[in-house]
Amino acid sequence: MSSILDVDLLAFEAGDAKQRAAVVDGVRTSLRTGFVYTSHDLSADLLDIAYGMLTEFFSLPAEEKQQAMVPGSHGQAGYTGLLVETAAISDTPDWKEMLNWGADLAPGHPLRQRFPHRYLGPRLPEEQVPGITEVLIEFYAKVLDLQRRFLRVIAIGIGCHESFFDRMITDGTTLTRAIHYPSMDVAPGADHVWAAEHGDINLITALPRATSRGLQVRTDDGWVDAIPPDDGVIINTGIMLEHLTNGVIPQGIHRVVADPDQTGDRYSVVQFCHPTPWTILAPVPSCISPENPQRFAAIEAGNLLDQVLYDINLVEDARRVG
């Protein structure tokens, strides 16, 4: 399977039983690659404004961007500089810088009390880019709603009730990450690899827009370019979904590579949909069979996240790549 299919989430939500079944089938088929494209109802104006503000932020001098760093966040809040995150299979840091944010919880919320390092609030550069906090929080909420709805399709596809993921992701540690990939002419010897091959940690990732090509997906037939329709959102699967489905839905392995003839920077904003950190990730019974025996033991989502953050060089006091 090497084709990434285009499905219609809006038809699933508004259609009859036959239309819904067709979307579920298309998602299951496409996710053999770990990737699928879907229709959406995100506001184009919101995307335009958000990307404009983020471009403004990343264009600031380095010392101003560094004011948005959040020590101890392990790349889960605030600014992360160039050449820090490193794919687990690589010893070469990625050529990217990032701005990260998530939702906030009330101080008395049990998740906030038990996992204070998980719920750090938006921590956005409001002083440098006035108005950015309101826009990016709205972006987060709208994309999370899209992800929640798309997970209902996946739930049906794995033999669960369509609400299976709803409670799991309510007040979860979903993270939005704006990524700036600088022009590769500043990275001699990097072979035009902005980000080495990797899988995401979470359940599903949504990418509403990128300013240029570069995302590639590993398939049975080799690397293929991820090129969604003009009005499509890219959805890809993560390690946690692979764990829950006993490998029936694999994590989508991908990389970001600039065309050698391509000039200029690349911007994208991805949102990693996470469950609550106390969610126990155990393969669902519908994905276990004599032909597909249980591959994964149960693990708490927060513990799995900690392990992968360490593997990808984001734990500040335990860098394996300096």
Q: What CATH code is carried by the domain that includes residue 287?
A: 2.60.120.330
> Which residues on adjacent β-strands are paired with residue 294?
none
pLDDT in the model for residue 84: 86
Q: Do the bridges between strand 193-198 and strand 175-181 make them parallel or antiparallel, or are there none, so unpaired?
A: unpaired
Q: Note if the pTM is more than 0.85.
A: yes
Q: Is residue 279 part of a domain?
A: yes
pLDDT in the model for residue 186: 67
Domain interval for residue 122: 6-318
Is pLDDT at 121 greater than 90 in this prediction?
Answer: no
Question: What's the burial of 221, exposed, middle or buried (CB within 10 Å: 0-12/13-18/19+)?
Answer: exposed
Count of domains observed in the chain? 1
pLDDT band at 320 (very low <50, low <70, confident <90, very high): low
Q: Is residue 1 part of a domain?
A: no
Angle 137-141-144 from CA coordinates, rounded to 5°: 135
Q: Is residue 16 part of a domain?
A: yes
Q: Is residue 112 part of a domain?
A: yes
pLDDT band at 261 (very low <50, low <70, confident <90, very high): confident
Is pLDDT at 208 greater than 80 in this prediction?
Answer: yes
- What are the pLDDT digits (tens) for 36-91? 999 999 999 999 999 999 999 999 999 999 999 998 888 888 999 988 878 777 77
Whether 254 and 215 have beta carbons less than 8 Å apart is answered as yes
pLDDT band at 310 (very low <50, low <70, confident <90, very high): confident
Q: Is residue 219 part of a domain?
A: yes
Whether 146 and 233 have beta carbons less than 8 Å apart is answered as yes
